[in-house]
Amino acid sequence: MHGVGHLDELRTALGGIYKQPVNTDMVFRQFEERLGKVVIINDLPNSTLAERRANTQLVQAIYNSDFLEDIPSCRCGAESTVEKEGNTCLKCGTTVTRVVDDDTGIVCWLRAPKHVDALMNPTMLVTLWQFFYKGSMTESKAVKQPFDFLRYAMDPLYVVPTRTARPADVVRVLAKYREHGFKRGYNEFIRDYDRFIDVFVNDELFRYADDSDQVLWIKFLNIYRDLIFVQHVPSPPPSLLVLEVTDTLTYRSDRTTEAVNAVRQLLSIDTKDNRPSRNERLTMLAMFGLAKFAVDYAVESERGKTGMWRMHVYAMRLQLSSFRCVAYSLHEEHRPDDVVLPWGVMVKCMYFHLANLLDKRGYTYPQIVDKLARAVEFYDREIDDCLDILMMQFSNHGEFPGPMVVMVRFPTLGPASISPFFIRRYTLPDEGCALGFPNTNTTGMNADFDGDKFTGWFPLDLTNTRRWHDIFGCHNNVMDPNNYRKASGDFPLPRPLTINMHGWLQDGDRTDPGKVEYMQMLVG
């Protein structure tokens, strides 16, 4: 399985958007070609107070006041004048720039020190660590401590906890480790990596609960085998390691401290005549520190409700075809899959359709843009006529009651949390900006009318409208998908009544059109 030939297979298994490890050596060479001079942490002098301060400036972003200075400066502070803005500092190799214009790019690099075979790509180390550490990167708060097997293999000074969570399993792992003749140490692990993986990856003590996850993990390691051990690793960008110094106190996060300490492990390491064993252990500590920082940064900044992935990827709104509204209960006669949309939402989400109609009426593009922009907030008779035409066109001569809108209520707790509805009508600007929603569907949506918001999306064409209606329509939520004999409870009607009506519509008499229409209105 080794090689990039299986990369397409891995992408298919992962699906969607995902992060991909990079060759840090290749990135280093690109930086070297572009900048000419690259700052290597290993080679920096660190004996005097001035040198240590300059190194701190390179590793961290330090702010000494409540406001940002507008004077251009390099990272070490040696060049700090307006006249030298844009120049490259001869000491630190960084560009003289203003704080507000500084980017989050890489400033310093770590190189494999003397007597050390290679560094480890932090991303790949995290992948290995999570597997052998049972998915946990943090110390357990329980009395019984977990056994960090990967740290045991790399660090000869690592002491096995006396009160481990599963002492018998730890004994078996250590026995197998000695049986196969593995030696402890960072260099030893690098040299014997492939055999280490072959022996322990399929061990019953180190397995994912899901076999498919196990297979995917193995494929990942095989495909990116060449990226695990490298000669160069970037130091975290200083903008992620902020240190605020005030007149009274100094502020920085715990993850900032961990990352800075990891980098300092290798600071000026090649300028000293250190023992091979010392260099090995310092390198190992630095690699584990950077891996821990990568995980902490992902947990704090990327995941969760306020994380970058949810804010900028998962929660991205479709341009012009999506909306979000507060809902109120429909009090007029309606079908269970009817909604009433406010005027502004209709104009905004039907933008392209309205623009097409206006174009056919002789409007120029600037006129269309201006007319629709104003119509979002103010009533326009001609836009109203165009919306009526679109409502008739989307009904497709009786196939559907109107344009479809897919409604979502977060969090999505069940199949009924995402359902298509049809726009019964739209309100005018002076009637408010709330969404009229049928009370019969609030249970499945886990919603009420005390300010709950709904998110909506327009399929915009009949093909997708038919697909959404057939697969996700409200009528599919009447019965329990896990038990065909039980009602789902997603409709507030009595369950026996709902089941009887649903069964009658499937197999009953169709001679009374009025009765059929009424039943369909009740059960969708």
CA distance 451 to 326: 6
Torsion of CA 192, 196, 197, 200, to 10 degrees: 180
Joined together, the tokens standing for residue 468 give 């959404």
Among 287, 310, 333, the domain-final residue is 310
Asked whether residue 396 is assigned to any structural domain, the reply reads: yes
Q: Are residues 219 and 240 in the same domain?
A: no
Sign of CA dihedral 517, 518, 519, 523: positive
Asked whether residue 335 is assigned to any structural domain, the reply reads: yes
Q: Are residues 285 and 191 in the same domain?
A: no
- CATH number reported for the structural domain that contains residue 514 in this entry: 2.40.40.20
Asked whether residue 155 is assigned to any structural domain, the reply reads: yes
Asked whether residue 518 is assigned to any structural domain, the reply reads: yes
Q: Are residues 298 and 171 in the same domain?
A: no
Q: Are residues 178 and 290 in the same domain?
A: no
Q: Are residues 393 and 464 in the same domain?
A: yes
CA distance 464 to 471: 11
- 10 Å CB burial of residue 172 (0-12, 13-18, 19+) is middle
Give residues with Cβ within 8 angstroms of 364, minimum separation 6. Answer: none
Among 209, 226, 243, the domain-final residue is 226
Other Cβ atoms less than 10 A from the Cβ of 202: the count is 11
Give residues with Cβ within 8 angstroms of 483, minimum separation 6. Answer: none
The pLDDT of residue 135:
41
One digit per residue, the tens of pLDDT, for the chain of length 524 reads 344 445 555 555 555 566 778 898 998 898 888 877 788 888 887 778 887 777 777 777 666 655 445 556 665 666 666 667 777 776 666 677 654 444 445 678 889 988 899 999 988 998 888 888 754 434 444 445 678 889 999 999 988 887 776 778 888 888 999 999 999 999 999 999 999 988 888 777 787 777 777 888 888 888 888 999 999 998 888 777 766 655 565 556 666 777 888 888 888 787 776 788 888 999 999 999 888 888 877 776 777 777 777 776 666 666 667 888 999 988 888 888 899 999 999 999 889 899 999 999 999 999 999 999 999 999 999 999 999 998 888 776 677 888 889 988 888 877 788 889 999 899 999 888 899 998 888 888 888 888 888 889 888 777 888 888 888 888 777 777 777 677 777 766 666 766 777 777 666 566 677 667 766 666 55
Asked whether residue 8 is assigned to any structural domain, the reply reads: no
Other Cβ atoms less than 10 A from the Cβ of 464: the count is 14
What string of H, E and C letters represents the secondary structure of 59-101? HCEEECCCCCCCCCECCCCCCCCCCCCCCECCCCCCECECHHH
The pTM assigned to this predicted structure is 0.59
Give residues with Cβ within 8 angstroms of 507, minimum separation 6. Answer: none
CA distance 384 to 388: 6
Helices (H) and strands (E) in the chain, counts: 20, 16
Q: Are residues 333 and 212 in the same domain?
A: no
CA distance 200 to 206: 7
The pLDDT of residue 185:
93
437 forms bridges with which residues in the sheet? 329
The pLDDT of residue 374:
93
Asked whether residue 76 is assigned to any structural domain, the reply reads: yes
CA distance 475 to 416: 10
Query: Pairing between strand 418-426 and 404-408?
Result: antiparallel
**CA 210 to mean position of chain CA atoms:** 22
Q: Are residues 94 and 187 in the same domain?
A: no
Q: What are phi and psi of 405, to 5 degrees?
A: -135, 130
Domain that holds residue 139: 135-226
Asked whether residue 124 is assigned to any structural domain, the reply reads: no
DSSP of 107-125: -EEEE--TT---EE-HHHH
DSSP reduced 3-state for 297: helix
Give residues with Cβ within 8 angstroms of 98, minimum separation 6. Answer: 69, 70, 71, 72, 73, 85
End-to-end CA distance of the chain: 51
Asked whether residue 10 is assigned to any structural domain, the reply reads: no
Q: Are residues 365 and 448 in the same domain?
A: yes
Sign of CA dihedral 48, 52, 57, 62: negative
Q: Please name the helix (run of DSSP H) or strand (run of DSSP E) that holds residue 326, with its range, or none.
A: strand 322-329
Joined together, the tokens standing for residue 297 give 């940064």
Distances (CA, A) of 108 to 51, 79, 410: 15, 18, 43
230 forms bridges with which residues in the sheet? 119
Query: CA nearest 405: which of 393, 424, 388, 423?
Result: 423
The count of domains in the chain is 3
- 10 Å CB burial of residue 337 (0-12, 13-18, 19+) is buried
Among 174, 204, 226, the domain-final residue is 226
489 forms bridges with which residues in the sheet? none
The pLDDT of residue 4:
45
CA distance 76 to 99: 13
Q: Are residues 263 and 401 in the same domain?
A: no
The pLDDT of residue 365:
92
Q: Are residues 398 and 496 in the same domain?
A: yes
Q: Which residue has the tokens 């790509």?
A: 121
Q: Are residues 216 and 249 in the same domain?
A: no
Q: What are phi and psi of 155, to 5 degrees?
A: -115, 105
Q: Are residues 349 and 424 in the same domain?
A: yes
